[in-house]
Amino acid sequence: MIRASQVVKRFGSSDKSVTALDGISIDIEEGEFVSLLGPSGCGKSTFLRCLAGIETATTGSLLIDGKPIDGPPDRLGMAFQRDALLDWFDVLENVLLPADFGGKRKRDYEPRARELLAMVGLKGFVNAYPRALSGGMRQRVAMCRSLLLDPRLILMDEPFGALDALTRDQLNVDLHHLTQQRRMTAVFVTHSISEAVFLSTRVIVFSPRPGRVVADIRIGLPRERRLAVRESKEFGDYTRHIRGLFEKMGLIHD
């Protein structure tokens, strides 16, 4: 579905440019859940923004369904680090925003919006304003918003980075359920190893800037996952392996 070959992204003028991505080549199949894992500032968010069509690669080719990306693709859902909820609309209006912006009738999508909100336990907050919600609740609303139009591709840029560990675990479970419910391809940017392994069918490890692909790991855990899977031996093997890669890059010292 996605084919990136030798994608390079530089920022700034030629003499003082900063290379964010240095020859990224990745193929992503339909239905995969791929995590881009790496230290802060390694260019993984930049790569995601290139996929979203809001940043263009300096050189290299980036194809979706064989066509070059020249703007936000069709049926795209996106979630951001800061949830980007609109403070002046209530929760339901926020979730319905993609329908509104897409020129569709909001009333047709209201049942789906309510269903999504109920799935993440926000049934009672449909008419609350975002500022009345906690950080975790806000990210749940943002998740529902990105899923409203049943996207084929969902891109998430460290959506849980600012949350406490407990809330983060719960949202990982919620996200897992939501993405399991409908078939979609997901690309998830994170710097949490266990989050990446828990959610993904595949983890791609980035090096520090300039971003390069260091490892491409298939996660052979069962498709349906519970938090308890994190105590299993296989899970531990994956996280240990990835932590080893980070140690080799000099990112973690013991």
Binding mask 1-40 for another protein (x = CB under 8 A): ----------------------------------------
DSSP string, 36-90: EE--TTSSHHHHHHHHTTSS--SEEEEEETTEE--SSPTTEEEE-SS----TTS-
Three-class SS of residue 157?
strand
Binding mask 52-81 for another protein (x = CB under 8 A): xxx----------------xx---x-x-xx
CA atoms within 13 Å, Cβ hemisphere of 155: 21
Q: Is 103 in the site for another protein (CB under 8 A)?
A: yes
Q: Is 135 in the site for another protein (CB under 8 A)?
A: no
Shortest reach from residue 61's CB to another protein, in Å? 21
Nearer to another protein, 15 or 87 (CB): 87
Q: Tokens for 229, please give them.
A: 């899977």
Spell out the residues 6+ positions from residue 96 whose beta carbon is closer than 8 angstroms to its own.
Answer: 106, 109, 110, 113, 148
Nearer to another protein, 72 or 121 (CB): 72
**Residue range at the interface with another protein (CB under 8 A); choices 49-57, 106-114, 210-218, 234-242:** 49-57
Q: Is 41 in the site for another protein (CB under 8 A)?
A: no
Shortest reach from residue 129's CB to another protein, in Å? 5
Q: How far apart are CA 131 and CA 91, in angstroms?
A: 10
- For residue 11, the cross-strand partners are 18
Binding residues for another protein (CB under 8 A): 49, 52-54, 71-72, 76, 78, 80-84, 86-89, 97-98, 100-103, 129-131
